[in-house]
Amino acid sequence: MAGVPDEKVIELHGNSTYAACLDCGKRYELEEIRKIFEKNETLPVCDKCNGIIKTATISFGRPCRLGKSGLRRKKP
How confident is the model over 1-30, as a mean pLDDT? 81
How confident is the model over 33-38, as a mean pLDDT? 86
Angle at 25 between CA 15 and CA 33, to 5 degrees: 65
**Which one from 13, 34, 35, 65 is the annotated catalytic residue?**
13
Q: For residue range 39-70, what is the model confidence (pLDDT) as tens digits?
A: 888 888 999 999 988 887 766 665 555 544 44
Query: In this predicted structure, what is the pLDDT of residue 64?
Result: 57
Closest CA to 58 of 3, 8, 19: 19
Query: In this predicted structure, what is the pLDDT of residue 24?
Result: 92
**Catalytic site includes residue 13:** yes
